[in-house]
């Protein structure tokens, strides 16, 4: 199993550009989530999904969209990048929500100029 | 909104010493997780605590949960250099959202 994979590993955007961060897992996990990690602030939940076709907002959803058309994939879209979205983004998955630890992808380091 | 506070934020300790990291949270929850993050790396699951009084141990690390006090502890016994990392606690609120603490950066000095 590859576990949780994320692409790209690094990305530089200009303000106003859009892009999609890819996340995939091959463990047949129902729960998937996106976090951003900023210095001194831990990880903050952006969006999450409890299964294909079901998504919901987390703590900091503004400026981001998600969709979950398959169990395996959970892409994160930045609609119009802003410097405040400069961060490290982690995708995570777990077998189900509630009683299982999350497995994290390697992260995407995003810089918005 | 659930608040999760960890202390200390930074911890420098000598090899062989014991210490405890504290994780306090602001609302009722009986589901708490501990993760480790090495510099520039992703997060790795350490412990899953799912009930009041739960205690889990792995090597030199032991985690416990007191849901009534809204407190979890991560105890380090006889620290070694390999334990140097940032440790995060995460609390699952009602529903499907997880809230992370700001992390404790641990440095073990030979």
Residue B44 is encoded by which pair of tokens?
């790795």
Q: Is B44 on the interface with A (CB under 8 A)?
A: yes
- Output the pLDDT for position A39: 87
Residue among B31, B48, B88 minimizing CB distance to A43: B88
Q: Which of A37, A53, A33, A43 is nearest to A93 (CA)?
A: A33
Q: Mean pLDDT, to the nearest integer, of A40-44?
A: 89
Window from A70-74, A75-79, A98-102 with minimum mean pLDDT: A98-102
Angstrom distance (rounded) from CA A105 to CA B13: 30
- Closest CA in chain A for residue B86: A42
| Residue ranges of chain B with per-residue pLDDT less than 70 | none
* Chain centre distance of CA A82: 17
For the segment A13-30, the average pLDDT, to the nearest whole number, is: 97
User: For A83-103, how does the pLDDT look when each residue is reduced to its tens digit (9 = 90+)?
Assistant: 999 999 999 999 987 678 899
Lookup: tokens for B51: 């009930």
Residue with tokens 């949780």: A4
User: A3 with A103: CB under 8 angstroms?
Assistant: yes
Nearest to A48 by CA among A39, A59, A37, A40: A59
Contacts of B100 in chain A (CB under 8 A): 35, 42-44
| Gap between the Cα atoms of A3 and B102, Å rounded | 25
Residue B66 and residue B43: Cα distance in Å, rounded?
24
Answer yes or no: do A42 and B42 touch at CB < 8 A.
no
HEC readout, chain A: CCCEEEECCEEEECCCCCEEEEEEECCCCCEEEEEEECCCCCEEEEEEEEECCEEEECCCCCCEEECCCCCCECCEEECCCCHHHCEEEEEEEECCCCCCCCEECCCEEEEEC
Chain A residues touching residue B42 (CB < 8 angstroms): 90, 104-107
Per-residue confidence (pLDDT) for residue A49, from 0 to 100: 96
| Token pair in block for residue B32 | 């708490």
């Amino acid at each position: 199993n590859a576990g949780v994979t994320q692409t790209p590993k690094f990305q530089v955007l200009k303000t106003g550009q859009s892009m999609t961060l890819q996340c995939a897992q091959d463990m047949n996990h129902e729960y998937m989530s996106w976090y951003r990690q900023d210095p001194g602030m831990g990880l903050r939940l952006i969006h999450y999904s409890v299964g294909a076709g079901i998504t919901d907002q987390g703590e900091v959803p503004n400026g981001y969209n998600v969709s979950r058309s398959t169990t395996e994939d959970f892409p994160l879209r930045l609609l119009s990048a802003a410097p405040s979205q400069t961060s490290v983004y982690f995708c995570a998955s777990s077998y189900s929500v509630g009683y299982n630890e999350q497995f994290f992808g390697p992260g995407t380091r995003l810089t918005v100029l | 909104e659930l608040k999760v506070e960890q202390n200390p934020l930074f911890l420098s300790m000598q090899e062989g010493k014991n210490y405890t990291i504290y994780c306090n949270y602001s609302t009722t929850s009986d589901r708490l997780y501990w993760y480790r993050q090495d510099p520039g790396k992703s997060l790795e699951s350490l412990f899953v605590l799912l009930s009041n009084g739960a205690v889990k141990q792995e090597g030199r690390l032991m985690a416990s949960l007191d849901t009534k006090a809204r407190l979890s502890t991560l105890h380090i016994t006889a620290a070694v250099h390999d334990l140097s990392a940032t440790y995060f606690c995460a609390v699952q609120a009602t529903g499907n959202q997880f809230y992370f603490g700001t992390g404790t950066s641990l440095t073990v000095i030979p």
